[in-house]
């Protein structure tokens, strides 16, 4: 199968690329515009591998996207290219509208044109998988969990742009019959995550003895999913999922932000005790983020029951492995920190 992965130089996209190439059964074409959050070093171990290529392309250029998709004729497009940082969407929403909405539209139109041009059985084989977030559902109370039937209620410009993209994907399936699938995942963590996100930010600040900013009271709850488990889930949805369906992907792993920060501090104290004091003392509570959702949680029953997916990485093991990866790979994150 020839698979085009948009945003393949980003955090989740690169994990997916590593997973797909590691299977050794597919041709993988990464399409990425290499914005600030994309790191070529994330894909460096894959360069030169049989069936793997990288194409630099901005998905906001609809004409170029059309030409690219029609020329490459992929069997599947796994669409992960997106602006994703909530804080950045609050201070500057334009890139989120342009990439997450207009870019998704461009890919949908290119995919529709490709399907029209394909002959059977390639026409029946094609799939468009759109990767989205649980943030489109808004905030939960103290109980309950998001599922595929949860009404949309986005709180930030980022989540609103992803919600709009989700609706476009569903509309292109219902109106044009595009064989599209959709996933909504919980918060990812793991290696190669850009340092502006919570876990690598806290980890690297703590390593350097810098303040550890925690929004509000730190009691906001997130549901954590290891990025390699997510990659396995996306691969499974692509190959066995039902077009027109959506799949909520989560590991049933809720943690309060403050508890997570405490855990990262304690694990780092064990592995790099050179700071001379407990890193919990670096925690600094800062003014809460605008529109900050209180709690997220995913009910992954559909993907578990219909496709047989289960997470393989438990949270404590995953966090420890993540810290060890960052400690062992300063050449990956060092230039990104220097460019702040």
pLDDT, tens digit, for every residue of 110-155?
999 999 999 999 999 999 999 999 999 999 999 999 999 999 999 9
Active-site position among 83, 109, 134, 223: 134
Average of per-residue pLDDT across 71-100: 97
Q: Is 326 a catalytic residue?
A: no
Residues 259-284 pLDDT 10s? 999 999 999 999 999 888 999 999 99
The pLDDT of residue 275 is: 86
247 is catalytic: no
User: Of 47-51, 147-151, 259-263, 335-339, where does mean pLDDT reach its minimum?
Assistant: 335-339
Position 340 scores a pLDDT of: 64
Q: What is the pLDDT of residue 184?
A: 98
- Supply the pLDDT for residue 118: 95
Pick the closest to residue 125 from 306, 1, 303 (CA basis).
Answer: 1
What does pTM read for this prediction? 0.97
Average pLDDT over residues 24-28: 96
The catalytically annotated residue of 32, 109, 158, 235 is: 158
Alpha helices in the chain (DSSP H): 11-23, 62-72, 86-91, 94-96, 104-117, 122-125, 157-176, 198-208, 227-240, 257-271, 301-307, 315-328, 330-338
Active-site position among 135, 235, 254, 293? 135
Which residue's structure tokens are 């670096």?
282
Residue 158 appears among annotated catalytic residues: yes
Q: pLDDT-based confidence at 315, cuts 50/70/90?
A: very high
Topology of domain 2-194+224-254+292-315 in CATH is: Rossmann fold (3.40.50)
């Amino acid at each position: 199968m020839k698979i085009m992965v948009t945003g393949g130089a980003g955090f989740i996209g690169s994990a997916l690329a590593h997973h797909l190439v590691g299977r050794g059964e597919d041709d993988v074409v990464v399409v990425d515009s290499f914005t600030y959050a994309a790191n070529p070093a994330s894909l460096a171990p894959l360069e030169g591998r049989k069936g793997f290529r990288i194409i630099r392309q901005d998905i906001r250029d609809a004409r170029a996207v059309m030409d690219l998709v029609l020329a490459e004729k992929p069997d599947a497009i796994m669409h992960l290219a997106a602006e994703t940082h909530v804080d950045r969407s609050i201070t500057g929403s334009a890139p989120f509208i342009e990439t997450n909405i207009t870019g998704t539209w461009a890919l949908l139109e290119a995919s529709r044109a490709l399907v029209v041009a394909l002959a059977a059985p390639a026409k029946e084989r094609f799939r468009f998988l759109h990767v989205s977030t649980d943030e489109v559902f808004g905030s939960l109370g103290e109980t309950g969990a998001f599922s595929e039937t949860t009404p949309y209620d986005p709180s930030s410009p980022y989540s609103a742009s992803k919600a709009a993209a989700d609706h476009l994907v569903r509309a292109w399936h219902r109106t044009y019959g595009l064989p599209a699938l959709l996933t909504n995942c919980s918060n990812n963590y793991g290696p190669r995550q850009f340092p502006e996100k919570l876990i690598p930010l806290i980890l690297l600040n703590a390593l350097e003895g810098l303040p550890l900013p925690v929004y509000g009271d730190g009691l906001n709850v997130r549901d954590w999913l290891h990025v390699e488990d997510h990659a396995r889930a996306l691969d499974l949805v692509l190959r066995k999922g039902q077009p027109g369906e959506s799949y909520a992907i989560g590991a049933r792993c809720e943690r309060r932000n403050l508890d997570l920060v405490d855990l990262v501090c304690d694990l780092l104290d064990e592995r790099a005790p050179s700071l001379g004091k407990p890193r919990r003392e670096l925690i600094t509570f800062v003014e809460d983020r605008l529109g900050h959702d209180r709690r997220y949680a995913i009910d992954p029953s559909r993907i578990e029951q219909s496709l047989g997916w289960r997470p393989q990485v438990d949270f404590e093991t995953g966090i420890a492995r993540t810290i060890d990866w960052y400690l062992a790979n300063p050449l990956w994150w060092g230039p990104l920190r220097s460019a702040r």
